[in-house]
A = this chain, B = another copy of it.
Amino acid sequence: MKTSTTARLFALAFLCGMALSTSVAQTADPLPSWNDGNAKQSIVAFVARATKEGSADFVSPAERIAVFDNDGTLWAEQPLYFQFLFALDRVKALAPQHPEWATTEPFASLLKGNVKGALAGGEKAVLQIMMAAHAGMTTEEFERIVKDWIATAKHLVTKRPSTEMVYQPMLELLAYLRANGFKTFIVSGGGIEFMRPWTEKVYGIPPEQVVGSSIKTKFESINGVPALMRLPEVNFIDDGPGKPVGIHQHIGRRPIAAFGNSDGDLQMLQWTAAGHGARFCLYVHHTDPDREWAYDRTSHIGKLDKGLDEATARGWTVVDMKNDWKTIFPPVKN
């Protein structure tokens, strides 16, 4: 396409404007919700090292892969994982189509509001609930179900929308890394298809940069229309030693920076740390019972025990939520 001289001049003026505003923006603090301290300093120092051309630790933009756990690292996971709340809501919504659930555990207890009773069946019960909620529809139908749910779901305690239970300092960190040429990925034990419908809007992370656990899907033709059916069969568990496997399978490069909050993230951090050159590993430590929750070594959700020891021994950055973060959640939207 040929452009007129006027249009070309306009385009140049626009580019020039962009260049000026970029240079101004760079003088502002990119991590305003982080208190000045070791955690913030270690992040800024790492980014400076990795992006300084000519330095020994310089990392080419293509290799600037940063991986983030989701539950407990980017958003709240207490007192229950959001995805489990989603599953409970789905079971309730589907109950009219399953009269047999009234007398079959774990559904019978669940439908009477007795979550503890339903979970008495252990891992098998959890799997039954998850499969009932997540399988048996096409991928497009499931995406619509998740979008509808996430648009209205509230946190059990704070009653805030689920997508506002994200950590403001981590949103700033994601943006800061991307502004410095990093490609940010989620690597979560949560369901890949439960996250993808909203991670772009909430975190700025597109579907193709989300790695997670999955169930199998099957290509079928439904009334002549191709569809992917979601099957009640586990495909991949992206947790613990599964995280480096999932990273390798999806990304095919070793990350240079990894962010987690539990022992389920330990192998991801170990895998990241074991590469050559500039590396950065960070644990979010939940230490704030007033503004969020305080839990670590003995928690059922987000247990951080071995990881905390290894982080200390290896000098990884540990964020003390209470003292390192000025604010936890974004301001309430009106």
- A interface residues (Cβ-Cβ under 8 A, vs B): 1-3, 8, 11-12, 15-16, 19-20, 23, 26-27, 62, 65, 139, 183, 192-193, 196, 200, 206-208, 210, 214, 217-219, 225-226, 228, 235, 241-242, 244-245, 248-253, 267, 270-271, 274
Contacts and interface: CB of A to CB of B under 8 A. Distances in A.
Most chain-B CB neighbours within 10 Å: which of A3, A16, A183, A217?
Answer: A16
Given A207-B251, A226-B270, 20 more contacts: A2-B27, A3-B23, A8-B20, A11-B19, A12-B15, A16-B16, A62-B200, A62-B206, A183-B208, A207-B253, A208-B253, A218-B241, A218-B245, A219-B241, A226-B267, A226-B274, A228-B244, A228-B248, A228-B271, A235-B249
A1 B19 contact: no
Contacts of A219: 241-242, 244-245, 267, 271
9 contacts: A1-B26, A12-B15, A139-B248, A207-B253, A208-B252, A218-B241, A226-B271, A228-B248, A235-B249
A218 to B, nearest CB: 7
A53 to B, nearest CB: 12
Given A210-B252, A214-B249, A217-B248, A15 B8 contact: no
A219 B249 CA distance: 12
A249 B213 CA distance: 10
Nearest to A247: B228
Contacts of A242: 219
A188 to B, nearest CB: 13
Contacts of A271: 219, 226, 228
Nearest to A11: B19
Contacts of A241: 218-219
A7 B3 CA distance: 28
Nearest to A251: B208
A7 to B, nearest CB: 9
A271 B208 CA distance: 17
Nearest to A20: B8
Contacts of A192: 249, 252
Nearest to A250: B250
A3 B23 CA distance: 7
Contacts of A253: 207-208
Nearest to A24: B2
Contact of A8 (B19, B65, B183, B270): B19
A101 to B, nearest CB: 29
Nearest to A197: B252
Given A12-B16, A15-B15, A19-B15, A208 B250 contact: yes
